[in-house]
């Protein structure tokens, strides 16, 4: 019995010599194996009579075999969602003055809305991987975009701060799709050696747009006919436009889901129920997968030194990003008498810092990795992280000592630029480091890091205002700089003793040569 033309063909991994395919990307990316039962006679069938269908090389329906134009269309569209989710995080605080007046709320209550966003982003990713495995990526993208639009509408029409806080939490849950799913989409369609530029685009959109969003939001807030509600209306209009484009461009990219669809179609057309995809034989239910997805990241976060140290470092840096979002406005208004529009423009420094991070990674880190991989292994990816370990506290010291009315305001912007440069480098390093170190548990390790990072992003703004009021901008930032100094050894320790630390981990031991 021969298979009809709808039978998929197998696909092989494409990697550079000396590289290995990621065992598991943070997105739970599936790579199917080769199956030899695609064209056999009935006498060749196994006793249970099941005919397993799998991909074959160069099948144009497999996402990895899409044309480059289609791959880039999907990548850029997904990165737009990342940019939107990042901008949402930063634009909210620019509307504080008019929102506090209209809703008769306190500064602390308004800040709760800022913190609610990373809280939603911390919790929801724990169930994203199981849901994408069961239903695919496209339904989650569609559902998240609809939820984002609905929450923007709810905030724009809200009559009390309690509604705003709830809507911001749900908005964070929807926006987390842009930060956690896009990396998986890139892994679906690009071979490992091709992912450098797409991942760089993803990283820079995620980091830089946190700064670009407030640039427009500040001037919207300054217009008395627009103010905070129109910040949300503009987000709603943008989300609606994106939704239309997404429906045409951002199709399903998860190979296992597409394979199941093809096999179901084959069974329907032939009336032969023996055709199956191997993934259909899995026994775990969605609820079981969600349970594992919630428990394992926390276990890795609490018991694995590499995950714990990276998560604390990144979490601290991410908390400081939200402190900047919270404090830049009062700092520049009180010290240098900026208006709201001018304060929004200051946030362009976050974009400049992210751009410097991208350039330094492309021109320096990648060359160091290629040059030293044979001797240092994958620890060669941490050269720039060691630089960031020094740059992070240095930037906070600069920001602290220039936070004075007697110092020209450009000094503070230099501190912000250097800070965002260091944060971008840290974020660019953690993904490959944890992915390489933990192989099949990489998704859980990254989920644990994301949980820690966003919980700190939630917590830091809640005490930042009180801290600045009591200690002044200068000394409060000095405290943060000193904490950054205490964390400075983390990348150096991982660079020098990373293999020995992973050798003691029962999770990292499942990766060949402990990830090297």
Which tens digits make up the pLDDT trace of 292-347?
778 888 888 888 888 888 889 999 999 999 999 888 999 999 999 999 999 999 99
Among 266, 229, 52, 47, residue whose Cα is nearest residue 152: 229
Confidence of residue 195 (pLDDT cuts 50, 70, 90): confident
Give the per-residue pLDDT at 515: 39
Contacts of 239 (CB under 8 A, 6+ apart): 84, 145, 148, 149, 152
Confidence of residue 283 (pLDDT cuts 50, 70, 90): low
Sign of the torsion angle spanned by Cα atoms 381, 384, 390, 391: negative
The region of weakest confidence among 119-133, 254-268, 487-501 is 119-133
Among 183, 180, 175, 174, residue whose Cα is nearest residue 202: 183
HSE at residue 131, side-chain half, CA atoms within 13 A, is 16
Does residue 127 surpass a pLDDT of 90? no
Give the per-residue pLDDT at 47: 47
Among 28, 59, 60, residue whose Cα is nearest residue 185: 28
Rg (CA), the chain: 24
Contacts of 231 (CB under 8 A, 6+ apart): 91, 92, 94, 95, 217, 220, 221
| Cα–Cα dist 403/211, whole Å | 19
Confidence of residue 371 (pLDDT cuts 50, 70, 90): confident
Contact by Cβ (8 Å): 8, 61? yes
Which H or E element spans position 276? strand 275-276
Contact by Cβ (8 Å): 53, 11? no
DSSP SS3 for 304: coil
Does residue 443 surpass a pLDDT of 80? no
Give the chain's length.
Answer: 516
Tell me the per-residue pLDDT of 462-506, one tens digit each, with 9 for 90 and over. 998 899 999 999 999 999 999 999 999 999 998 888 778 877 777
Does residue 364 surpass a pLDDT of 90? no
Give the per-residue pLDDT at 428: 81
Among 356, 315, 348, 237, residue whose Cα is nearest residue 484: 315
Write b or e for each residue in 3-16: b if 16 or more Cβ atoms lie within 10 A of its Cβ, otherwise e.
beeebbbbbeeeee
User: In Å, how far are 43, 80, 148, 155, 213 from 238, measured between CA atoms?
Assistant: 58, 10, 11, 15, 12
For the chain, what percent of residues have pLDDT higher than 90? Answer: 46
Confidence of residue 273 (pLDDT cuts 50, 70, 90): confident
Does residue 411 surpass a pLDDT of 70? yes
Among 298, 297, 293, 301, residue whose Cα is nearest residue 132: 293
Summarize the confidence of residues 183-199 as an average pLDDT.
81
How much is the mean pLDDT over the chain? Answer: 83
Q: What are phi and psi of 315, to 5 degrees?
A: -60, -40
For the chain, what percent of residues have pLDDT higher than 70? Answer: 87
Does residue 242 surpass a pLDDT of 80? yes
The region of weakest confidence among 112-116, 360-364, 511-515 is 511-515
Give the per-residue pLDDT at 398: 96
Does residue 17 surpass a pLDDT of 60? no
User: In Å, how far are 29, 86, 145, 435 from 177, measured between CA atoms?
Assistant: 15, 11, 9, 19
The region of weakest confidence among 13-22, 27-36, 380-389 is 27-36
Summarize the confidence of residues 160-172 as an average pLDDT.
95
Give the per-residue pLDDT at 362: 83
Contacts of 287 (CB under 8 A, 6+ apart): none
Summarize the confidence of residues 131-153 as an average pLDDT.
90
DSSP SS3 for 273: coil
Among 515, 508, 25, 22, residue whose Cα is nearest residue 305: 508
Give the per-residue pLDDT at 28: 34
Which H or E element spans position 86? helix 68-91
Sign of the torsion angle spanned by Cα atoms 98, 91, 163, 317: negative
**How many C-beta neighbours within 10 Å does residue 285 have?**
11
Partners of 51 in the β-ladder? 275
What DSSP designation does 275 have? E
DSSP string over 374-437: HHHGGGGGGHHHHHHHHHHHHHHHHHHHT-STTS-THHHHHHHHHHHHHHHHHHHHHHHHHHHH
DSSP SS3 for 52: strand
Greatest mean pLDDT range, 14-18, 108-112, 255-259: 108-112
Does residue 44 surpass a pLDDT of 80? no
Contact by Cβ (8 Å): 74, 251? yes
Confidence of residue 508 (pLDDT cuts 50, 70, 90): low
Contact by Cβ (8 Å): 415, 473? no
Q: 3-state DSSP helix/strand/coil percent for the chain, to nearest 5? A: 80, 0, 20
Give the per-residue pLDDT at 59: 85
Contacts of 152 (CB under 8 A, 6+ apart): 171, 232, 233, 235, 236, 239
Contact by Cβ (8 Å): 402, 414? yes
| Cα–Cα dist 288/272, whole Å | 30
For the entire predicted model, the pTM comes to 0.83
Could you tell me the two tokens for 105? 């709320």
The region of weakest confidence among 58-62, 165-169, 354-358, 473-477 is 58-62
Contact by Cβ (8 Å): 301, 451? yes
């Amino acid at each position: 019995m021969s298979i009809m033309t709808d039978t998929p063909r197998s696909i092989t991994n494409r990697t550079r010599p000396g590289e290995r395919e990621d065992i598991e990307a943070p997105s739970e990316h599936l790579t199917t194996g080769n199956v030899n039962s695609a064209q056999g006679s009935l006498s060749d069938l196994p006793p249970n009579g099941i005919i397993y269908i799998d991909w074959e090389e160069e099948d144009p329906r497999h996402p990895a075999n899409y044309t480059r134009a289609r791959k880039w269309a999907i990548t850029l569209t997904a990165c737009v969602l990342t940019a939107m989710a990042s901008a949402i995080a930063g634009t909210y605080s620019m509307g504080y003055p008019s929102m506090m007046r209209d809703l008769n709320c306190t500064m602390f209550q308004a800040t709760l809305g800022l913190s609610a966003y990373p809280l939603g982003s911390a919790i929801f990713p724990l169930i994203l991987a199981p849901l994408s495995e069961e239903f695919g990526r496209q339904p989650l993208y569609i559902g998240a975009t609809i939820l984002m639009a609905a929450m923007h509408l709810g905030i724009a029409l809200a009559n009390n701060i309690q509604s705003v806080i709830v809507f911001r939490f749900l908005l964070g849950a929807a926006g987390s799709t842009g930060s956690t799913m896009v990396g998986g989409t890139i892994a679906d369609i690009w071979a490992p050696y091709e992912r450098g530029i797409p991942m760089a685009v993803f990283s820079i959109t995620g980091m830089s747009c946190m700064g670009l969003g407030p640039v427009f939001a500040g001037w919207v807030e300054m217009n008395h006919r627009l103010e905070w509600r129109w910040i949300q209306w503009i987000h709603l209009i943008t989300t609606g436009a994106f939704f239309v484009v997404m429906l045409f461009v951002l199709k399903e990219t998860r190979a296992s889901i597409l394979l199941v669809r093809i096999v179901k179609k084959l069974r329907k057309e032939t009336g032969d129920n023996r055709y199956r995809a191997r993934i259909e034989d899995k026994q775990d239910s969605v609820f079981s997968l969600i349970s594992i997805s919630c428990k394992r990241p926390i276990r890795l976060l609490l018991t694995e030194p590499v995950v714990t140290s990276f998560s604390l470092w990144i979490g601290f840096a991410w908390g400081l990003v939200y402190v900047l979002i919270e404090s830049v406005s009062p700092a520049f208004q009180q010290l240098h008498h900026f208006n709201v529009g001018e304060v929004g423009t200051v946030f362009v420094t976050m974009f400049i810092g992210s751009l410097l991070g991208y350039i330094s990674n492309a021109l320096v880190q990648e060359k160091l990795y290629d040059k030293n991989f044979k001797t240092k292994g994958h620890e060669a990816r941490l050269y720039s992280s060691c630089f960031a370990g020094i740059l992070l506290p240095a930037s906070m010291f600069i920001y602290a000592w220039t936070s004075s009315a007697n110092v020209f305001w450009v000094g503070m912007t230099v501190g912000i630029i250097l800070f965002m440069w260091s944060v971008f480098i840290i974020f660019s390093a953690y993904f490959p480091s944890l992915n390489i170190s933990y192989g099949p548990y990489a998704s859980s390790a990254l989920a644990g890091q994301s949980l820690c990072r966003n919980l700190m992003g939630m917590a830091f703004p809640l005490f930042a205002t009180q801290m600045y009021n009591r200690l002044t901008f200068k000394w409060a930032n000095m405290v943060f700089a000193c904490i950054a100094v205490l964390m400075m050894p983390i990348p150096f320790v991982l660079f020098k003793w990373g293999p020995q630390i992973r050798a003691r981990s029962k999770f990292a031991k499942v990766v060949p040569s402990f990830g090297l």
